[in-house]
Structure 1
Amino acid sequence: MSTAFPVSPPLARRMAALRSSAIRDLLAVTARPDVVSLAGGLPDPDLVPRERIRDVTARVLHSADALQYTETAGLRSLREVVAARESVRLSAPVDAARVVITHGSQQALSLLAQVLLDPGATVVVEEPAYTGALQVLRAAQARILTVPLDADGMRVDRLADLLSAGERPVLVHTVATFHNPRGVTMSAARRRELVGLADRYGFRVVEDDPYGELYHGGPPPEPVAAHFDRVIRLSSVSKTLAPALRVGAMVAMPDVCAAVELVKQGADLCDSRLTQEIAAELLADEPWLDAHLTGLRDEYGRRAAALRSAVARELGGVATLGAIDGGMFGWLEFVDGTDADALLPVALDHGVAFVPGSAFAVEGVDRGAARLCFTTNTSDRLEDAVARLAAAHRAPIPGAAGGQSTQE
């Protein structure tokens, strides 16, 4: 009689398309105290309003209800304040019934994929792409097409070419404002062109907007959703208040909200009422929130300027840094043939981390670019980080033919 153990059942087929986020994998390395990280897209913990959150938490906990379940769609008071803020941003009234609160905006993406996408459905994303969206879309077994970005955001003309060639996407995903990873913002003209195409061809637009309030070069154009009701808007307090609150919001038409609420019941029943109560009070205090956001914009603007100055000084002639008018990221492009993937381990040896552009690739592999996050470090630390990066750039790459440096 055989004593062999039975073979374990296989995982679901959708798992074959998934791979770990290169950014998440880097976090273990960047936790080293000797490494200055330009990798993870994190807010500065010293700028998180800890004392205000502590005070609001203590006040909220005076009621036992704060520790109870809440509606699947989210706490009513939070949905109302989100609706009021969105009404201002969209220059049109938004009813609280069109708001669903989620466990961060990433959950909203995941729930939308379940609601809108059958296996094989066509989706269009920007190239380079937000990695969180790619993970969701690959898990949904979507067919992913790409359109490139330039200094004015998504090349909507290239999307029009795909549509003219017969492609019929179910949805188009865009980080239109302060793109992750490129940092660019879609122009107002292209936003209007995008919704015109959505209206003509019948696809939905998912406008992922976690960074829109972090401007320091002047307010960005009106949200894409201001031009068309088929746009689904996603936002989050992770970058403006605190990631640990895990509060995101989706604004969509009632049929999409109802469907998302239905699948959310099967995912987690509801999110934390405690953190929703905290977020609702913070967002509703407009004078405090305006002052807090102004402080973030000013400080992050100084850090973006410090990063630009350091890149010009340390890497001038070998790399260029894209425009930074807000958000959290700068896109560094080497003009001397440097392979950013090969540079990364050398940079880590020099005590600095970044994310290679290839981590955001869908079709092509952009090995000559890197995403730099400027929000986590002070201006002095950013200057030190770029100096370390420049030293790594001058160093030889182990294993390279003839021991050439990254400059060759």
Structure 2
Amino acid sequence: MPASPAAPPFLPSRRLRDVRGSAIRDLLTLTARDDVLSLAGGLPAADQLPRERIAVAAERALRAAGSVQYGETAGLAGLREVVAAHESGRLRRPVTPAEVVITSGSQQALDLLARAVLDPGDAVVVEDPAYVGALQVFQAAGAVLHPVPVDAGGMDVDALAALLAGGLRPKLVHTVSSFHNPRGVTLAQDRRRRLAALAETYGFLVVEDDPYGLLAFDGRPPLPVAAHGAQVVRLGSVSKILAPALRVGWLLGPGAVCAAVERLKQCTDLCGSTLTQTIAADLLADHDWLAGHLDRLRAANRSRAAAFTAAVDEVFGSAVTRSTPAGGMFCWLEFPDGTDTDALLPRAVAHGVAFVPGSAFAVGPPRGSALRCCFVSYPEEVLRDAVRRLAAAAS
């Protein structure tokens, strides 16, 4: 018999070739060992996930036949109403369900938005250091990335204004406005106002990625960028406040943007899970329970942040500078002596602790002496142990 022809080699598309892998996802595989304390992933604390309340909502949902049927592409009507009411309170203006598209986490919202708005070669402004998931999405869309620095007040809007004055015309400007991933800082209110004004003047869309805003330690979420102007698309999620496994996020924006995203979502998955959307709607609509849950979650995160930063100060002293978390999940550390955190990582894993090197978030020059730690995943004493292990690896 003639030999079968060899299978042709797999040739990835140019779109895939342009997307770098996520060091964070790779680290989750590397550190899934019981002997490694992982400060790498942005994982909510397992002991803070409201499993019992989710179970009650799931039982209720399963009594309704519609919860296990196909649903609307834009999302369950009841959930869109709840999210619209939620966002109305955040923005201090009325939001209608027609302005909301429910997605599989906010990451899908970001991907659909990029596909709806961007053509290859379009300019996109990103923060530097940047959220890795945003970099992957914009690289897949073929965008040309223009980094803007992040300092203690969030995105350097003066630097953005200078780029715009010099002729840059981005389609999108992406910001993790509150409790930034990875820097942990929050965009100052005067910068939020100016960013919204620049969007109106130059005609770009601000993508306000806001999964952490409700995790302010003092219980006062920052007023969103979208409260200051109409050229803003907000992305939200229940992953950090309820449970990642629900895979419920949303996009809030102008009608034309929502319609374009909905059309692309039809191509992607037809519709999301009506079951998890029904559960999420139950939880978000239970205002008294949700307020108490968020208070408990903030208190736990505040205590863990304090334990982590105190341990860093005690163990490292002046050998490390750090951010001061006021909410969210992350603390950014830097070694003034130039310690190579990429080289430090395998030594740290050998000592039973992991982090994400700063290079994973770099858009411009490498950030080889920085690293990101998530402080919410473990109780206080475990966090102190993790810092001691990190110091042993760095010594």
Shift of 1:5: 2.5
Q: Distance in 2 between matches of 1:387 and 1:7?
A: 51
Shift of 1:263: 0.6
Q: Contact 2:219/2:298 (CA < 8 Å) preserved in 1?
A: no
- Normalization by structure 1: what TM-score? 0.95
Residue in structure 2 matched with residue 288 of structure 1 by the alignment: 289
Q: AA paired with 1:93?
A: P
Shift of 1:217: 4.1
Q: Contact 1:218/1:325 (CA < 8 Å) preserved in 2?
A: no
Please, which runs of 5 or more residues in structure 2 have no aligned partner?
A: none
Residue in structure 1 matched with residue 372 of structure 2 by the alignment: 371
Residue in structure 2 matched with residue 202 of structure 1 by the alignment: 203
Q: Contact 1:185/1:220 (CA < 8 Å) preserved in 2?
A: no
Please, which runs of 5 or more residues in structure 1 have no aligned partner?
A: 395-408
Residue in structure 2 matched with residue 233 of structure 1 by the alignment: 234
Shift of 1:315: 0.7
Q: Distance in 2 between matches of 1:100 and 1:359?
A: 30
Residue in structure 1 matched with residue 38 of structure 2 by the alignment: 37
Q: Give the secondary structure class of the aligned counterpart of 2:331.
A: strand
Residue in structure 1 matched with residue 165 of structure 2 by the alignment: 164
Matching of residue 261 in structure 1 with residue 255 in structure 2? no
Q: Distance in 1 between matches of 2:101 and 2:212?
A: 19
Matching of residue 354 in structure 1 with residue 355 in structure 2? yes
Q: Give the secondary structure class of the aligned counterpart of 2:332.
A: strand
Q: Distance in 2 between matches of 1:110 and 1:208?
A: 12
Q: Give the secondary structure class of the aligned counterpart of 1:177.
A: coil
Q: AA paired with 1:167?
A: L
Matching of residue 58 in structure 1 with residue 59 in structure 2? yes
Give the CA RMSD over aligned residues: 1.2
Q: Distance in 2 between matches of 1:152 and 1:221?
A: 13
Q: What is the total number of aligned residue pairs between the two structures?
A: 394
Residue in structure 1 matched with residue 17 of structure 2 by the alignment: 16
Q: Distance in 2 between matches of 1:5 and 1:77?
A: 53
Sequence identity percentage: 59
Shift of 1:362: 1.2
Q: Contact 1:311/1:320 (CA < 8 Å) preserved in 2?
A: no
Q: AA paired with 1:137?
A: F
Q: AA paired with 1:192?
A: R
Q: Give the secondary structure class of the aligned counterpart of 1:213.
A: helix
Matching of residue 316 in structure 1 with residue 313 in structure 2? no
Q: AA paired with 1:304?
A: A
Q: Distance in 1 between matches of 2:193 and 2:7?
A: 58
Matching of residue 300 in structure 1 with residue 301 in structure 2? yes
Residue in structure 1 matched with residue 389 of structure 2 by the alignment: 388
Residue in structure 2 matched with residue 143 of structure 1 by the alignment: 144
- Normalization by structure 2: what TM-score? 0.98
**For 1:266-285, what aligned pairs fall within 5 Å after superposition?**
266-285=267-286
Q: Contact 2:184/2:325 (CA < 8 Å) preserved in 1?
A: yes
Q: Contact 2:131/2:182 (CA < 8 Å) preserved in 1?
A: yes
**For 1:79-90, what aligned pairs fall within 5 Å after superposition?**
79-90=80-91
Shift of 1:10: 2.6
Shift of 1:7: 3.5
What whole-Å deviation, never above 9, does each CA across 1:262-284 have from its counterpart, x for those lacking one? 01001000000000000001000
Q: Distance in 1 between matches of 2:230 and 2:286?
A: 28
The structure-2 alpha-carbon separation of the partners of 1:349 and 1:96, relative to structure 1 and needing over 3 Å to count, comes to same
Q: Contact 1:318/1:335 (CA < 8 Å) preserved in 2?
A: yes
Q: Contact 2:213/2:222 (CA < 8 Å) preserved in 1?
A: no
